[in-house]
Amino acid sequence: MYGYSGRILHVDLTSRKTWAESKPEEWYKMYIGGVSMAARLCWENIEVGCDPLSSGNPICIGGGIFAGTPVPVGGKHGLASKSPLTDFLGDSLSGSWFSVALKRAGWDGIVVHGASDDWVHVSVDDDHVEFHDASHLLGLGTFETEEAIREELSDDQIRSSTIGKAGENLVRFANVTNDGRQAGRTGHGAVWGSKKLKSLSVRGTHDVGVAHPDELLKLCYDIVQAAQGKHTEKYRVLGTVSNVLNLNRMGLLPTRNFQQGTFEDAELVSGEYLHEHHKVKTIACAQCPIACEQMSRVTDGPYAGAMTGIEYESLFAVSSNCGVGDMKAAIKAIDICDEDGMDAMSTGVTIGWAMETFERGVFTKEDFTCEKYPEGFEANFGNGEALVTMAEMIRDREGIGDLLAEGTKRASAQVDAERGAETYKWAMHIKGLECPGYDARGLKTFALGASVVTRGACHNRTAAYDVDVKGWVDRLSIDESRGKLAKETEEYAAVYDTLPLCKFIRRCFTGKADREGAWPAIAQLINATTGWEFDYDAVDLIGERAHTIKKAFNIREGWTRADDHLPYRWQHETMKEGASAGSVVTEEELEYMKDLYYEAKGWTKEGLIPKGKLVALGMEDVAEEIGA
């Protein structure tokens, strides 16, 4: 078999045993890699119904089909576990040299079972797996931990995935970090922390064999040339933060916990401002010729020295969403999140909820006492120092940070129960995962797409906002096309998340980003790597199968139609200003669109997957367990 080793590594932290599992080639043709392979490994290895922070929840890593090959932006891997935020599947991607090392070590994926009694870090050196005491690493940040392991193992080429203080403290939206990149969102860091796993390191020395190396090199040369040209210039020069002003103009930039869609200080937290005042350089993931991450630094004032890569999603969450127009405070808050392994989106949105709860009088200054501010502080919107301090308190679970570390859904439920409040009305999450930086009231197709995403509120797993913002449909109204569009855009995204390839390469195959422009080229890459004979339809099926295994996992964990919801605010409060003023997604609109979506997917009206549908996808064992 080319492109794969045919082996999955299993590591049991409880017994400290390891073993190799062989997988047949047909299994790889079904699940490929990335989030799809990781989700399938979760399906096969989890104790159904387990607490996400228990030993029954496995850590599943799915390598990339193109990792270690010349294919640009293919140095990525998928990471999946049951999410401590959503209690459904949590799947993330990360671009890093870890993926390449995994492939070169001769493993297509890793499953970590059980839990350790004592803090441990695990190293994989080709076939040799070793368990190391990690007590000396506790309290170190993610980057420091990577450096410490390189030093400890006397190997500057070993690649580590690590957790920081947030993961150690079981912050439910803690990340796993590798090479400065984050496997973010659904709380993988807390899962690792619950197992007392500080780090997983890999060193690989094998070659990566491909079926047709000359053909693959030629294909890749052309794509790399395109990837360094106009198609990706936006990402390279300004990065994703260029979204700030675009979304502000459309009245879609989440502001003050999604109360508004325009921010009066948008220019001060824009990509343009960042580029002019704070950018140091652009950096790239493994195998990436695009380089989109804007490494930015604060050089003066109270946050001098803060430096990290800035993306739109992390930036909106800690700036406009918290009413903060101080870019320096925003960089500092994101730096804390990255260094200590915490999802900046969930951190910012949770802090936004806390700020609104303070402004509405449910929280008072006394709720915000901490070592730094023994008398408490005013946690109002626009207070950059409050933003930074709350990020630190969440990381350390200090004071009210212990509540906020539970995430918006759990924090609001607890406050409402204890204080007789209704903070759920401004708790901005779907399935427990905090919302991304697009106000879905003004993006009706995205509203549907976001409500049905298997991992909760996410812009990456549904590309449905694409058809809204480009004007292919009227973004402020609904029609019968939206179910099919939501299906097509989520499965389009799932193809990239499964290979995995970064979506920013999508125009670089032929100049066209749609299926017709990309799928034939992706089929050529797959075939040159593996020797398979994939075509357009086979590539398209990658996305449908990937989404189906994730959905099947959720169904087995108890998902019902009611779990495909939107935040209360998006359904009950119309936008009051800006270009999306007057917009809201009514209950009737959402339920109608969900009907359309389930029908387009070939599912039942209750959103369950018929047995015949699963069998047609080659997923007979899944059909046996959850088929309707």
- Residues of this chain that interact with another protein (CB under 8 A) are 230-231, 233-234, 237-238, 240, 242-243, 245-246, 249-251, 271-272, 311-313, 459, 463, 465-466, 469-472, 476, 503, 507, 578-580
Give 309's Cβ-side CA count (13 Å radius). Answer: 20
Alpha carbon distance 556, 608 (integer Å): 10
Least CB distance to another protein at residue 337 (A): 18
Least CB distance to another protein at residue 79 (A): 21
Torsional sign, CA 465, 468, 472, 474: positive
Torsional sign, CA 156, 159, 164, 169: negative
Write down the H helix ranges in 46-133: 97-104
Least CB distance to another protein at residue 31 (A): 25
Q: Find the helix packing angle between 536-556 and 482-498, rounded to 10°.
A: 100
For residue 574, what are the β-bridge partners?
Answer: none
Least CB distance to another protein at residue 80 (A): 23
CB of 311 or CB of 396, closer to another protein: 311
Alpha carbon distance 461, 473 (integer Å): 20
Least CB distance to another protein at residue 62 (A): 23
Least CB distance to another protein at residue 485 (A): 14
CB of 272 or CB of 624, closer to another protein: 272
C-alpha 554: how far from its chain's center?
A: 17
Q: What angle do CA 584, 590, 593 make, to 5 degrees?
A: 125
Alpha carbon distance 262, 325 (integer Å): 12
Q: For the chain, state the CA radius of gyration.
A: 23
234-253: burial string, b at 16+ Cβ within 10 Å, e else: ebbebbbbbbbbebbebbbb
CB of 203 or CB of 475, closer to another protein: 475
Least CB distance to another protein at residue 475 (A): 8
515-550: burial string, b at 16+ Cβ within 10 Å, e else: beebbebbbbbbbbbbebebeeebbbbbbbbbbbbb
Least CB distance to another protein at residue 245 (A): 5
Alpha carbon distance 485, 42 (integer Å): 28
Least CB distance to another protein at residue 431 (A): 22
Listed in sequence order, the residues at least 6 apart from 366 whose beta carbon sits closer than 8 Å to its beta carbon are 376
Name residue 359's amino acid: E
CB of 50 or CB of 584, closer to another protein: 584
CB of 352 or CB of 442, closer to another protein: 442
Alpha carbon distance 23, 26 (integer Å): 8
3-state SS assignment for residue 139: coil
For residue 111, what are the β-bridge partners?
Answer: 10, 60
3-state SS assignment for residue 189: helix
Least CB distance to another protein at residue 469 (A): 4
CB of 415 closer than 8 Å to CB of 421: yes
Alpha carbon distance 124, 129 (integer Å): 5
Q: What is the dihedral of CA 76, 89, 138, 101, to 10 degrees?
A: -20
CB of 160 or CB of 242, closer to another protein: 242
Least CB distance to another protein at residue 522 (A): 17
Alpha carbon distance 101, 81 (integer Å): 21
Least CB distance to another protein at residue 503 (A): 6
CB of 311 or CB of 326, closer to another protein: 311
CB of 450 closer than 8 Å to CB of 464: yes
Give the number of residues written for the chain. Answer: 628
Least CB distance to another protein at residue 460 (A): 9
Around Cβ 139, how many Cβ atoms within 10 Å?
11
As given in the structure block, the two tokens for residue 510 are: 């032929």
